[in-house]
Chains A and B, each alone.
Chain A
Amino acid sequence: MSLERLGRMLWEYREVLLSGIWVTIELAFISMLIAMVVGLLACFGSLSRSRILRAPAILFVEFCRNTPILVQLVWVHFAWPELLGFKFTAWTSAMIALALQSSGYLAEEFRAGIESIDKGQIEASQSLGMTYVRLMAFIVVPQAFIRMIPGILNQFVTCFKSTSIVSVIAVPDLMYQAQLIVTATFLPMPVYTVVALMYFLMVFGVSVGVRRLTLLLPNFGYFQTRKEAPAA
Chain B
Amino acid sequence: MSFGAQAHAQASGDPVTISALHKRFGALEVLKGIDMAIGAGKTVGVIGPSGSGKSTLVRCINHLEPIQQGRISVGVNGTTVTARGVENAGRVLSQGEVARYRAQIGMVFQSFNLFPHLTVLGNILTAPVGVLKRDKKAMIEKGMELLGKVNLQDKAKTYPAHLSGGQQQRVAIVRALMMDPKVMLFDEPTSALDPELTGEVLKVIAELAIRGRTTIIVTHELAFARDIADAIVFMDNGKIVEEGTPDEVLGNPKMERTRAFIGKMA
Question: Do residues B159 and A126 form an inter-chain contact, with CB atoms below 8 A?
Answer: no
**Known contacts A126-B102, A127-B102, A143-B116; A221/B179 CB under 8 A:** no
- Distance in angstroms from B46 CB to nearest chain A CB is 17
- Smallest CB-CB separation from A143: which chain B residue? B117
Interface residue from A134, A142, A220, A232 paired with B164 (Cβ < 8 Å): A232
A228–B161 Cα distance when bound, in Å, is 10
- Distance in angstroms from A148 CB to nearest chain B CB is 13
Q: Mark A205-232, 1 if CB is under 8 A from B, else 0.
A: 0000000000000101110110010111
Q: Which range contains the number of B residues in contact with the other chain?
A: 35 or more
Question: Do residues B131 and A130 form an inter-chain contact, with CB atoms below 8 A?
Answer: yes
Question: Which chain B residues (157-192) contact chain A, with CB distance < 8 Å?
Answer: 158-164, 167, 172, 175-176, 179
Interface residue from A123, A124, A134, A146 paired with B130 (Cβ < 8 Å): A134
- Distance in angstroms from B209 CB to nearest chain A CB is 14
Residues of A within 8 A of B176 (CB): 127-128
Interface residue from B95, B132, B179 paired with A132 (Cβ < 8 Å): B95
Question: Do residues B164 and A126 form an inter-chain contact, with CB atoms below 8 A?
Answer: no
Question: Do residues A231 and B131 form an inter-chain contact, with CB atoms below 8 A?
Answer: no
- Smallest CB-CB separation from B104: which chain A residue? A129
**Known contacts A139-B115, A230-B163, A231-B163; A130/B99 CB under 8 A:** yes
Question: Do residues B95 and A127 form an inter-chain contact, with CB atoms below 8 A?
Answer: no
Q: Mark B65-98, 1 if CB is under 8 A from A, else 0.
A: 0000000000000000000000000000001100
- Interface check A138, CB cutoff 8 A: yes
Q: Which range contains the number of A residues in contact with the other chain?
A: 20 to 34
- Interface check A131, CB cutoff 8 A: yes
- Distance in angstroms from B229 CB to nearest chain A CB is 22
Question: Do residues B162 and A128 form an inter-chain contact, with CB atoms below 8 A?
Answer: no
Residues of B within 8 A of A231 (CB): 155, 162-164, 167
- Interface check B241, CB cutoff 8 A: no
Interface residue from B96, B117, B127 paired with A128 (Cβ < 8 Å): B127
Question: Do residues B109 and A221 form an inter-chain contact, with CB atoms below 8 A?
Answer: no
- Interface check A121, CB cutoff 8 A: yes
- Interface check A85, CB cutoff 8 A: no
Residues of B within 8 A of A132 (CB): 95
**Known contacts A128-B175, A130-B130, A131-B96; A230/B117 CB under 8 A:** no
**Known contacts A224-B162, A230-B162, A231-B167; A134/B113 CB under 8 A:** no
**Known contacts A120-B113, A138-B126, A231-B167; A128/B159 CB under 8 A:** no
- Smallest CB-CB separation from A135: which chain B residue? B99
A220–B109 Cα distance when bound, in Å, is 21
- Interface check B43, CB cutoff 8 A: no
Question: Which chain A residues (104-143) contact chain B, with CB distance < 8 Å?
Answer: 118, 120-121, 123-132, 134, 138-139, 142-143
A222–B162 Cα distance when bound, in Å, is 9
- Smallest CB-CB separation from B102: which chain A residue? A129
**Known contacts A221-B159, A225-B161; A127/B62 CB under 8 A:** yes
**Known contacts A120-B111, A123-B113; A128/B161 CB under 8 A:** no
Most chain A beta-carbon neighbours within 10 Å: one of B102, B114, B117? B117
- Interface check B44, CB cutoff 8 A: no
Question: Do residues A121 and B113 form an inter-chain contact, with CB atoms below 8 A?
Answer: yes
Interface residue from A121, A123, A131, A232 paired with B115 (Cβ < 8 Å): A121
A218–B116 Cα distance when bound, in Å, is 11
Question: Do residues A127 and B64 form an inter-chain contact, with CB atoms below 8 A?
Answer: yes
A220–B105 Cα distance when bound, in Å, is 28
- Smallest CB-CB separation from B168: which chain A residue? A230
Residues of A within 8 A of B175 (CB): 128
A138–B100 Cα distance when bound, in Å, is 17
Known: A224-B161, A231-B162. 6 other contacts (CB 8 A): A127-B102, A128-B176, A129-B132, A220-B118, A221-B159, A221-B160
Can you list 19 A-B contacts with CB-CB less than 8 angstroms, sorted by A residue number?
A: A121-B113, A123-B64, A123-B113, A124-B109, A125-B115, A126-B62, A127-B64, A128-B176, A130-B99, A130-B131, A131-B95, A139-B115, A142-B117, A220-B116, A220-B118, A224-B161, A225-B161, A230-B163, A230-B164
